[in-house]
Structure 1
Amino acid sequence: MASSRSASRPKGNIEERAGSLRVRVFAGNDPVTNRQVYLRATIPGTSDASWRKAENKLTEFRAQVIKQRTVASTVPFAHAVDEWMKTSEVVDSTRDGYVNYIERYIRPALGKVAVRKIDARTLEGFYAELRRCRKRCDRKPFIEHKTEEEHDCAKAGCKEHVCKPLAKSTVRQIHSIISGTLSAAVRWDWIDSNPAQIARRPRPKPPEPDPPTPAEAAKLAEAAFKLDEDWGVLVWLVMTTGIRRGELCALRFSRIDFDEGVIDLRKNWVNGKEKDTKTHQSRRIALDTETLVLLKEQRERVKARRAKAELDFSDDLFVFSSTQAPDHSKPYPPNAITQRYKDMAAREGVKTHFHALRHYSATELLSAGVDLRTVAGRLGHGGGGATTLRVYAAWVAASDRKAAEILASRMPKRNKTFD
């Protein structure tokens, strides 16, 4: 049977092995590893019906290989990603990050590869290479030269290459760019499906919020007020509202309803520009009495400063500003806030960072039994609390346990009798 029906074809073959039929067609070389790639399938049995199935599969594989060599397949990935970048709607800071990833990692590896030749295996191999070494070296020792011109390596500071893996989060960002490009290629009829949708990428690191303890938070708040009143109010506001750093910098007096005790968050300060919030949605956060008093005092201080400089006060002024803009016409630079807070925490002997104040606000609310949807709303999390639950799962569980104990304490007591 095997010798008569057999097996060899110009673009593939069928082989009888151990009671089954193996179909194999050469599909070219892997664009990342340059290894030969074959399309394979195993058909159980060796009956006439099995042979017909095998021959149909061989025809299918041949058609697939031919399709990869059509005119559309000549479109290189570099051209596709450039076209996608022209049409994608992303903020400037995100676009800058995308360009960096494209030029440093994507274009050198996949730029010349035809779009149709990129499959899930190609992408998974690419991601694995980046996780092993961001330069995708061939594992052979070499010197990383500081310049391409003739030079003395000792004087120039050239060093022997040491493999450094790319972070999982960075590889996931690269995957997003590739997936977006291939989705566009599907819409433009360059390919039939997006292989990035089935390709495995590194799993995201589980969120591990590490908020300061209540004692540490109290210590930090006291230290902030000792530095100056403005800085104290700033730190206090983040602790009590969980407001994002960019939202804090973009906050203007006009967005504070002092009568209702509510902050209306609509803007975010990123790279020296005022933009929409991170989720592109506005939200209103209720203020407690003490926080509202502190913000009123902040407004009076700003009024006094403006009057001293013979300037009029306007509700359009920023609530917080650095010493470089004492008239509050410009916001406090986000990076300056982070650095100042870091220095203050180090002096107080507390190992933390500015974003942890947002975690502190969330965990304290959850620990106090505030419902998940309310906490998510204050933080500006989307998905009806799905993000909040994923990030603060441990505190949600503790809150649920507390709720169970509260309910049990309200149940009528039973008188037990024992024989």
Structure 2
Amino acid sequence: MTPPPTAAPALPAPVAVHPRPTRDPGAGRRTHPATGGALVLVGMLLVALNLRAVVTSLGALLDEVRDGLGLSGVTAGLVTTLPTIAFAGLGALTPWLVRRVAPARVLVVAMLALAVGQVLRVATDSALIFVLTSALALSGIAVANILLPMLVKQHFPHRTGLVTGAYTMALTVGTTVAAASAVPIAHAFGSWRAGLGVWAAMAAVAVLPWVPLALRARAAARRATPTTVVATPTRVRPARTRLGWAMAVYFGAQSLSGYAIMGWLAQLFRDAGYQPESAGLLLAGVTALGVPIALLMPTLAGRLGTLRPLVLGLTTASALAYLGLAFAPHGAALLWVALLAIGQGAFPMILTAIGLRARTAEGTVALSAFAQSTGYVIAALGPLMVGILYEATGGWTAPIGFLLGALAVQTTAGMAIARPRYVEDE
């Protein structure tokens, strides 16, 4: 009898194998300190030290620069407006750069431009070349302004408030030191050129941490194979959202007053009877008192359910300071400096809000670029209008009235960004 045929052994079911896409190196990746996070943080802090020194050192020595280069009041106003013009124009290009070049490599070039620009601008007797080389230096700052909030979101997503506070404090320290020491350095070397040019060394130091990070990013790009699938982030367009515009207006209005103060406050105190060194120290006092505010404000903003109390408190401090400067600039100068320092806490608050109002690193850099570039267009009016009004009236009542009007706009925009929401959702 023929045995029945046996069934063929069943083969195991095939397992579907899907290629695992890999992300672009560094895109939205959280970096552990052992693999570069500590170096990124050091690099960010060194960059932040440089972000305002080039501006406040000029503000403290504006009279000497005007005499040395033969600048009129309007031209001096244009020079003090240059930061906002550069920040607006080049800041808008930063997201485009980051999509094509690793942020570390961008920052190497940015800090080199800052160092070279500062050296060249103190080596000329031409007002035009001074303006152009100042613009070169400021271009490096413009790019770094946009990148820092993105780097916080990318490398330290769970410590946004702490890291934002740390780099904002470093920015404030750099601002303070430059404002306080620019005049003494100039007097020690017998020239305003030394008081401005010395900060090029600090910019050169800020290049150093980013060189190995840039080389690491370049090596990672070379290791990527042709079959690597790079995640393409969804484009976020803050210009199409009400939140984006509210952020831009608030950033612009607070920057308008900030750069007007950095550019002209020392001159106001000189006109009130203070010696140049004392006027420079009072300007430095605004930023020195702002150091603890810069450290605490991001943490406070991150913990509050709404930013409304901060917006209203900062507005009140600024309004009282402006009124005091208009009516009693000499008699209670220290009080007005303290209130100005509190009011300038709007800057670390809005930087923190950029991270709080975006869900992703891509959204953060898009919102940062739009808010800052558009905001700096608005801010460009500050130093320029203060210069024009100061020269036209010969006093400070009209310029301060202009700053009070800008403060009203700032407060309105601040109330619009106070409640929690995200730019990606809009």
- Normalization by structure 2: what TM-score? 0.21
Query: Who wins on radius of gyration, i.e. which is larger?
Result: 1
Structure whose residues are more often strand by fraction: 1
Structure whose residues are more often helix by fraction: 2
